[in-house]
Structure 1
């Protein structure tokens, strides 16, 4: 074997190396780069001339080549986080006459989408990484996590910065999906209570018969054990009451007494417990309207709305859309273990023109699904749900004579069908016209 390799020219050996591995690097005993193939250089956005001779740690982030040289132990199928995604890498020490003279490293899988298809060993490794990502992902949000620079969003953020240090209760109103909990988290994080707990209760998610115990706790008469409710858990911290509009009137009265007396009385108990809690409340309906309808206590309303933040729906702050779109797209690309995915121009146009009744939450859900449905690293319109792709036939300016309006409707319908279905015979059948008529209309509208 040695004789065979010795007969190969340097150029032939270089060709073998360049084609045997997707990306690889060779370093000397001091962890300086001796060789790096062209593909790896292109990915790292460095030239081979500039890379060779440099310390490997200055060229490849999170490298472990130096550890392999020091330990003399190969590192096989090891997760390597680089440029926003996890890859799998092999790192092997190079030994000559019993002495370590350097190390060889190669990337064997360049993103996790291929990795997931492999052996149980690799799948287990990937799952361990994913668990680590989830364990370290924060469940709290800061003001910087709220995306948007529109006038409305800037004003809300400025208001939060002003009122957060106080203990004033805050009412956050906005449609479902506008991210009201993120705003509550940001208030807590900027407050003097940030070292305390942020405790949440969703009044709409807890059955009414269990809500009193959930909020105020319950004393077990037989054992004397007191189960603390969310109010007690939030002592010296912040209590976020989501969907407070769903709180029954009887519990509204008890909550009001708790806020006034700074004391909570648990179920089956006659003894009050002092609490020091800041209240943040959220509602997806107007509480003032519920007050008028006698469905919400007026005295509690005035108690919790010292400051009211009105979160605009996404359709009213579309100047923030591109920032939100790019932020969530990149987030889900990383979560999916993909290196790069782009939006087709038509897909971006459809997303931009949609009215987003589910607001930011709907946008996140649509993008997360689209990332997994992307074809050849491109999100096509076919990856979007039907309700997003469906156009309002009267979304154009409905002005002028009826004949002109009908032509616009016809044009929009044919254009949408052509985007979704390549088979023109099927389109003609769906429209109830002949293929020749369809071709005439295609020519007419320059499709």
Structure 2
């Protein structure tokens, strides 16, 4: 740093400050201006000669430079209202030998709309980078953390990147455990509403008689207080209605009216209030099926289904299974404080041949438990729940004599137990055999 300062003349430093994109001001310990660049002076409509030596508050409205000097604490990326517009400014105290000698200020975004545009661009770019990274950190709000490279998942991710900036409602359909919440969060995070609330309500988790208050709020005549519902809480942001199929028909009508009129009427209130909300809904049952069963309003369905994302069950995208397996193993190893945990070959085979009715959520829960139960850093089949192992009973041939068939079954059962358990006393006990009989059968089948 000293070499750099020595090699840069005062004129070169001045040239850098004059031609940088940012606006600069430097003040002394009394908050008087020592330096201000020409661009900043032109914006402030003041001659530099008139500004130098003046208190900074006389030249820059709403300045906080004096506060930074008084506190000795930097104020970074702070909104600054000046000449009718908001900007983003940095204010940094300057120390020499531990003593504050002044402060340095810079305007990094001259218009908040520029910041919002750049913020959206950076956010989208970073999400795309994450999609191609091997980062194992987990954050349910990011599109890049939805693991999978199958054609179906790639298509959904591409669609989300396209539709996220729009204001259109989105319907997400998929079986329980497929990760619908993650896709909903991703839509919000890639939208222009990401700086505002993401509010979720699960219609299946709230008693039907309380859902209207939960969604739209209510006025309490005893206290005279208005309690905001989830709809109002999501103002300017995104309202995620999970399991919308459980919403009673009467509330479906009110939801449709609220979406059309963009205003809410709380329970017990005669007054409506404008709200600006983007709606994302999900269902683990096809809404078209619920319409056929007269359980869902057709007009609300048509309002919601313009953009429909159908999340495939895990059994239909098993090409993503290994990625998911490695991801969850890494995640839960960190949580368990274990440096290295692997799957036994038999365990991996069992997991891959299972049909996963609970989808990604079931895989996640099973691996989390298995990591904690791993013996000597290896997850054996014994660490898996019984329902998974029962689905993987060894197959056997059904041709030949009964003696041949029984011998084949016996061999494969013994093989399965030996792969799962190393303690032969335990195996004999589980099979109801004496230890000597077990050893005879192992020898007989060359196991």
Q: Taking structure 2 as the reference length, what is the TM-score of the superposition?
A: 0.63
Task: Indicate the SS of the match to 2:177.
Answer: coil
Q: How does 1:351-390 map to 2 (within 5 A)?
A: 351-390=351-390
1:353 to partner: Cα distance: 2.0
How many residue pairs match? The answer is: 310
Question: Residues 370 and 275 of structure 1: is their aligned pair in 2 closer, same or farther, counting only changes over 3 Å?
Answer: same
Question: Residues 155 and 275 of structure 1: is their aligned pair in 2 closer, same or farther, counting only changes over 3 Å?
Answer: same
Q: How does 1:15-54 map to 2 (within 5 A)?
A: none
Q: Tell me the residue number matched to 2:114.
A: none
Q: Tell me the residue number matched to 1:198.
A: 198
1:237 aligns with 2:231: no
Question: Residues 234 and 407 of structure 1: is their aligned pair in 2 closer, same or farther, counting only changes over 3 Å?
Answer: farther
1:396 to partner: Cα distance: 4.8
Q: How does 1:415-430 map to 2 (within 5 A)?
A: 415-422=415-422
Residues 66-86 of structure 1, C-alpha deviations (whole Å, 9 max, x = no match): xxxxxxxxxxxxxxxxxxxxx
CA–CA separation in structure 2 for the residues paired with 1:398 and 1:382: 26
CA–CA separation in structure 2 for the residues paired with 1:405 and 1:199: 60
Bigger Cα displacement from structure 2, 332-341 vs 405-414? 405-414
1:407 to partner: Cα distance: 6.4
Question: Residues 323 and 405 of structure 1: is their aligned pair in 2 closer, same or farther, counting only changes over 3 Å?
Answer: farther
> Which structure's CA Rg is the greater one?
2
Q: Tell me the residue number matched to 2:174.
A: 174
Task: Indicate the SS of the match to 1:294.
Answer: coil
CA–CA separation in structure 1 for the residues paired with 2:397 and 2:213: 56
Q: Taking structure 1 as the reference length, what is the TM-score of the superposition?
A: 0.63
CA–CA separation in structure 2 for the residues paired with 1:368 and 1:425: 29
CA–CA separation in structure 2 for the residues paired with 1:372 and 1:349: 20
CA–CA separation in structure 1 for the residues paired with 2:294 and 2:353: 39
1:391 to partner: Cα distance: 3.4
Unpaired runs of 5+ residues, structure 1, are 1-136
Q: Tell me the residue number matched to 1:338.
A: 338
CA–CA separation in structure 2 for the residues paired with 1:412 and 1:313: 31
Task: Indicate the SS of the match to 1:346.
Answer: helix
Q: Tell me the residue number matched to 1:51.
A: none
Question: Residues 445 and 169 of structure 1: is their aligned pair in 2 closer, same or farther, counting only changes over 3 Å?
Answer: farther
Residues 83-125 of structure 1, C-alpha deviations (whole Å, 9 max, x = no match): xxxxxxxxxxxxxxxxxxxxxxxxxxxxxxxxxxxxxxxxxxx
Q: Tell me the residue number matched to 2:279.
A: 279
1:180 to partner: Cα distance: 0.4
CA–CA separation in structure 2 for the residues paired with 1:401 and 1:279: 63
Question: Residues 211 and 167 of structure 1: is their aligned pair in 2 closer, same or farther, counting only changes over 3 Å?
Answer: same
1:424 to partner: Cα distance: 5.5
1:237 to partner: Cα distance: 0.8
1:263 to partner: Cα distance: 1.2
CA–CA separation in structure 1 for the residues paired with 2:264 and 2:401: 67
Residues 202-223 of structure 1, C-alpha deviations (whole Å, 9 max, x = no match): 1111111111111000011133
1:225 to partner: Cα distance: 1.2
CA–CA separation in structure 1 for the residues paired with 2:139 and 2:341: 26
8 Å contact kept, 2:346–2:419: no
Q: How does 1:141-290 map to 2 (within 5 A)?
A: 141-290=141-290
8 Å contact kept, 2:164–2:188: yes
1:370 to partner: Cα distance: 1.6
1:288 to partner: Cα distance: 0.8
Q: Tell me the residue number matched to 1:298.
A: 298
Bigger Cα displacement from structure 2, 254-263 vs 380-389? 380-389
8 Å contact kept, 2:202–2:241: yes
